[in-house]
Amino acid sequence: DLEITEKQIRHYPDDQVAIITTGSQGEPMSALTRMALDQHKGIQIKEGDTVVFSSRFIPGNQKAITSVINKLYRMGADVIYEKISDIHTSGHARREELKFMLGLVKPRFFIPIHGEYRHLVKHAQVALNMGMDRDNVLLAEDGNVIRFENNQMALETSVSAGRVLVDGKGVGDVGEMILRDRRKLSSHGMVLVLLGVDENTGETVYGPDIISRGFVFENQNRHILQDAECIILEVLDELERPQPMNYAAVESDIRRRLKRFFYNVIGRSPLIVPVIISL
């Protein structure tokens, strides 16, 4: 037989077996990744095996792919991929193959769904050139609602569509502002400014106290934080007294000046959180 089951592999010499598998982009749970981790139930990579990546490295997947390649090399395999060999073969159908499929299926309606909008347009043109009725060829995008009724199709109003972020037990409740803050925290750390003021006079009775996490090592860079404290005091000195303090405006001014100071001094943009407590 030309095709055998996974369990039958052990009954054949290695040089008579070729395995087509998932995992060309380093997907974590793909069969090839599990083989590279020696976690696949039925297939083990042996010294002398040859592994061929016939696809290109999709931008953003390079790290995952090279990690799998390195693991395969450690297991003794010879790995062939686009960086060392002209091995690429496309996973997408060519124009003539698309025409062949349309000729076989002869669809009543045609909606191209894969690729960027320019690809959808070209695919739709292939169907029109094959003789399909223009009313039966539709270009749709994510979120479009398509209604089929009385042997006709039409676009309805769109619905919300796209990526839904899952964070712990929350689904879809992580907005762009939260993501932005998390990116800042992961890249530049956080600076917390604590300040206590008299409720009646607006005078400072505590602080400013600066606490940083993931930003600078406080013992070695204490002078930077001391200069930051001086900037905060300058903001407070510029306030008109005894006018009631506008906490939101003062916090915004502290955040803006510290952001500029930190970037100019050490080229970082930490998440800055001023907290003013009325005492």
**What percentage of residues in the chain have a pLDDT greater than 70?**
95
pLDDT for res 51: 95
Question: Which value, to the nearest 10 degrees, does the dihedral of the CA atoms of residues 254, 255, 256, 257 take?
Answer: 50
Q: Among the CATH numbers 3.40.50.10710, 3.30.499.10, 3.30.565.10, 3.80.30.20, which is that of 6-80?
A: 3.40.50.10710
Band (pLDDT 50/70/90 cuts) for residue 2 is confident
For residue 172, pLDDT over 70 is answered with no
The predicted-structure confidence for 50-75, as pLDDT tens digits, reads as follows 999 988 888 889 999 999 999 999 99
* Main-chain phi, psi angles of 196, to 5 degrees: -110, 130
The predicted-structure confidence for 65-108, as pLDDT tens digits, reads as follows 999 999 999 999 999 998 888 777 777 888 999 999 999 999 99
271's enclosing H/E stretch is strand 271-278
Within 10 A of 24 (CB to CB), how many other CB atoms are there? 20
Per-residue pLDDT averaged across 216-239, rounded? Answer: 82
Region of residue 190 (left: phi > 0; alpha: psi -120 to 50; beta: else):
beta
Question: Does residue 11 or residue 242 have the better pLDDT?
Answer: 11
Domain ranges for the chain, please list them.
Answer: 6-80, 95-155, 176-278
pLDDT for res 216: 75
Query: Are 39 and 30 contacting, i.e. CB atoms less than 8 angstroms apart?
Result: no
Both ends of the chain: CA-CA distance in Å? 84
Per-residue pLDDT averaged across 117-139, rounded? Answer: 94
For residue 223, pLDDT over 80 is answered with yes
Per CATH, domain 176-278 is 3.40.630.30 = no
pLDDT for res 118: 94
Domains 6-80 and 176-278 share a fold: no
Whole-number Å distance between alpha carbons of 178 and 170? 13
Q: How many residues does the chain have?
A: 279
Question: Does residue 205 or residue 244 have the better pLDDT?
Answer: 205
Strands 146-149 and 152-155: antiparallel
